[in-house]
Chains A and B, each alone.
Chain A
Amino acid sequence: MGKVHEGNSDAEGKKTEFSLVRVKSTWKSKLGKKINKDAVDYVSTAKIYESITDRGTSWTVVSPITFTYKVTETHDLLDPNNDTLLLGHITDPQQLEDIKKSNKPIRRFVVIDQEVFKIYGPKLTEYLEAHNVVYKILALPTTEGNKSMETALKILDDVNNFALDRRTEPIIAIGGGVCLDIVGLAASLYRRRTPYIRVPTTLLSYIDASVGAKTGVNFANCKNKLGAYIPPAAALLDLSFMQTVPRRHISNGLAEMLKMALMKHQGLFELLEEHGCMLLDTKFQADNTLYGHSSVKVASQATHIAITTMLEELAPNLWEDDLNRLVDFGHLISPALEMKVLPSLLHGEAVNIDMSYMVYLSHECGLLMEEEKQRIISCMVGLELPVWHEKFTMELIQKSLQDRLKHSGGLVRMPLPVGLGQAEIFNNTSFDILHRAYIKWCEELSFSSDCTCDV
């Protein structure tokens, strides 16, 4: 490569492999795979394949990019004695040491949901002051309704004025899933990629939004139609934020936890079945009265399993190259339902209604036993989640599945439980079965619709 050609290659369609090596400041392509490592500073994992035809040359570039991110549990994130908020994303011990020794002030731009700011604003400010951080806090409402590119650009206006260092000053997002998604997208766009940190303050974002790579905003009345797959430098998980989360929002988060349990983990399902009420009552905190130490143990176990099962599914498929995804369970029909009745259903509530129907479908297909179906629905009810909704109609189901076909390369790819804590992906469910399941679902559960009224 790079040589002035003397004649046309007669090896039509043959591909020549080139490795890429760096010598001082310059990259050079080298024929073949064997590289003399002593002569070069560095060998890249990228490769170029060249083939020459009579119409010209064509090259295929193969370039692996490695995404590395941390998901870190901590206690008392906003206690000035805890430096995780400022340094928890750093993986290199040398870098950490250099920063601690340096006199340079730490600079941070923090985006925080307005409601969260009302509760934690003073504590956050105190924290940053105590660490002599040069900071800017941008508090704004982050709701499904304003989860838009406009909001992301508004954030970027302020970020741009703060003059962040390109690599060493991550933007911090504190809030629920919507906040984390919007800030994540804004950060991904700024300078084509700016590091950011997620601090989830709701249970749902704690086990779901914070742990993967997805960011996004809504567009043309569709959920998350625009976004990116850039993970944060770190997600910092502090369960103490759950103390100020309303009970309804704890249930909301439990829906995603239940999703992972139904897809992958019987043990987690049994935890939720048995201790769901306790988790709701204690909000995942240590409780000194009724439940004693067991509440912390259960909270910890449940969140660990939820996160590890989620990471197992996301890490090998970070950019969704494989459209078969167990984590899509509960997400085939809920997006349309959620947008239709906005804002009356929370995300997790919509997901649960979807899952509830799917459980009936599973049973109708002979994949779940009656007893298993009942246990699951009871568990959902125990977690105070809605299991039915009048707007979840056959029409909505059909439209959603059609959209799913378009969105997923021509296959429905429907995850369905095939036992408690086990699942598979199905593509050929007939209208007949969908309909029969729907009738039974309405027959048995529509009485519970009282639970779905707006609070």
Chain B
Amino acid sequence: MNSSNTSCSELTEFNLVQVNGTWTRHTGQCQDKEGKLSDAKIYENKSDQGVSWTVVSPIVFTYRVIQCKDLLDPRNDTLLWGHIEDEELKGTTSNSKPVKRFIVIDKTVHELYGSKVSQYFDAKGVIYKILPLPTTEENKNMELVTKILEEVHQFGIDRRSEPIIALGGGVCLDVVGLAASLYRRRTPYIRVPTTLLSYIDASVGAKTGVNFGGGKNKLGSYVPPVATLLDSSFFQTLPLRQISNGLAEMLKMALMKHRGLFELLEVNGRKMLHAKLQPSETCGGSEQEDGAAASMRIAIETMLEELAPNLWEDDLDRLVDFGHIISPELEMRVLPALLHGEAVSIDMSFMVYVAHQKGLLTTQEKSRIIQCMLGVELPVWHQECSLVLVQKSFRERLRHSTGSLRMPLPTGLGRAEIFHDMIEDDVIYQAFQKWTEELSTFGCNQINYY
């Protein structure tokens, strides 16, 4: 039998060195060689079947996440140049070439901030095109991506130095990110999240995507933006419901990794919600970091800790999946009744009951968590989140994650473990019963949203 992996073979490792624009492979040590040494390697394996080469090529993704204020104030350069490291900046701004930018803005955001954006670019003398588009879960598809690409192509941008700017919520950032990843196989782009959810979640990682065949985010890429620009003043024009929505993802990180963040939300959540996380007047000028500012910073840091080492999800064990095992199915099923964070909250709420049932959380801890959710006006139960839906989601998870459940569960306040074995049926059943018994009364909240 001819095997593809015969043991009678000769393996050679090659380094790659570039001299005068030409790359050549070399065996052995290359330090003494003149020219540029690559991090990539080629392994050549000669056998009786023929030759087999294995290419090992590391690609380094570098991106910046920048907190800023007054992003749309013409005195602030961040929107145009925030993605460039300071040392390179001088070369760019002194260049006489006119600056060009293509900006995709969510339609609702455009109604609120469109004129400010235009004023900004006019003041900076930038040649620009603003494309306002409705970006919703329902039209988050390849068609929308194609529409953006047609406009970008017509406008004409430089391959490397004119990043596409996306201004809006998670859907907008995901769609534009995918379009940019595809154009010329990779075009730089900048994310400006305008919702709390996108601020701490979608904007900080590499994922882009659109829905396909009835499934959430079935098509996409892992290409990060060159920069994400975080200006929390956008939240001032958000409805309270959207703030709660974002707090769900913040709470997720707290429950998985950060007791301090949980306690901030527990104590200050309601206040932060109603202040829309704007800086508190009493803190102005004081040295103490404002609760809202601290929460946002910690949420970002904990998210970055989890995403940076696993940018392309090579490891399917991911704490950030907490709240995302049942919610995709639930969200799509009741679309558009639940916002993403609301579905996540319901998922987390149920999982907290599972954790309690398994003896990982005390009754008091469980109670504190649910209270915290209610405090920030998040839903904790939903009638469409049936036992059948839960079981289906768990089965899908098992299938989708190469045979291991990989379920993150809290094991205390602010810490968690990933569980690999399928949860026993009776545990799920008991947890579901208790969850419904104790929390279905809170399901009335959902009626207001229909």
Contact = CB atoms under 8 A, between A and B. Distances in A.
Interface in B124-172: 142, 146, 149-150, 153, 156, 158-161
Nearest to B217: A192
Interface string A59-79: 111111111111111111001
Interface stretch (A20-28, A137-145, A370-378): A20-28
A22 B293 CA distance: 27
B412 to A, nearest CB: 12
Given A1-B301, A189-B220, A409-B158, A228 B185 contact: yes
A315 B58 contact: no
A166 to B, nearest CB: 6
A105 interface: no
Interface in B21-59: 21-25, 38-42, 44, 49-59
Given A58-B66, A59-B65, A190-B218, A231 B55 contact: yes
Interface string A411-455: 000000000001111000000000000000000000000000000
Contacts of A304: 51
Interface string A376-420: 000000000000000000000000000000111110000000000
Interface stretch (B106-114, B239-247, B305-313, B369-377): B305-313
Interface residues of B, number: 108
Interface stretch (A31-39, A212-220, A273-281): A212-220
Interface stretch (B324-332, B400-408, B431-439): B400-408
B119 interface: no
Contacts of B184: 225, 407
B222 interface: yes
A122 interface: no
A83 B311 CA distance: 33
B319 A26 contact: yes
A191 interface: yes
Contact of A24 (B58, B181, B224, B417): B417
Interface string A173-195: 00000000000000011111100
B51 A73 contact: yes
A96 interface: yes
B55 A68 contact: yes
Chain B interface SS verdict (over half):
mixed
Nearest to B48: A75
A26 B253 CA distance: 11
Q: In the complex, which of the residues A157, A228, A323 has the most CB atoms of chain B within 10 Å of its own CB atom? A: A228
Contacts of A57: 67, 297, 300
A157 B214 CA distance: 11
Interface in A154-171: 156-157, 160-161, 163, 165-168
Nearest to B258: A2
Interface stretch (B2-10, B345-353, B380-388): B2-10
Nearest to A191: B218
A5 B297 contact: yes
A81 interface: yes
Contacts of A423: 21-22
A90 B5 contact: yes
Contact of A409 (B61, B161, B212, B256): B161
Contacts of A47: 308
B341 interface: no
A65 B207 contact: no
A320 B160 CA distance: 11
Nearest to B302: A2
Contact of B62 (A58, A60, A73): A60
A316 B38 contact: yes
A67 B415 contact: no
A5 B186 contact: no
Contact of B53 (A66, A81, A214, A311): A311
A308 B52 CA distance: 11
B49 A74 contact: yes
A7 interface: yes
B257 interface: yes
A135 interface: no
A307 interface: yes
A309 to B, nearest CB: 9
B161 A311 contact: no
A312 B53 CA distance: 11
B159 A409 contact: yes
Interface in A298-329: 304, 307-308, 311-320, 323-324, 326
Contact of A229 (B5, B185, B230): B185
Contacts of A4: 260, 264, 289, 294, 298
Contacts of B415: 26
A55 B301 contact: no
Nearest to A8: B287
30 contacts: A7-B287, A7-B288, A8-B289, A44-B308, A46-B308, A55-B68, A56-B293, A57-B67, A57-B300, A58-B64, A63-B311, A65-B311, A66-B56, A67-B56, A70-B52, A76-B2, A83-B3, A156-B212, A163-B399, A189-B219, A190-B218, A190-B219, A192-B217, A192-B220, A311-B55, A315-B42, A315-B56, A316-B16, A316-B39, A423-B22
Interface of A: 1-8, 20, 22, 24-29, 44-48, 55-76, 79, 81-84, 87-88, 90-91, 93, 96, 149, 153, 156-157, 160-161, 163, 165-168, 188-193, 213-216, 219-220, 222, 224-229, 231, 237, 263-264, 304, 307-308, 311-320, 323-324, 326, 406-410, 422-425
Interface of B: 1-5, 16, 18, 20-25, 38-42, 44, 49-69, 142, 146, 149-150, 153, 156, 158-161, 181-186, 206-209, 212-213, 215, 217-222, 224, 230, 256-258, 260, 264, 287-289, 293-294, 297-298, 300-302, 304-313, 316-317, 319, 399-402, 408, 415-418
Given A6-B289, A96-B5, A326-B22, 6 more contacts: A25-B418, A56-B68, A69-B55, A226-B185, A237-B50, A308-B25
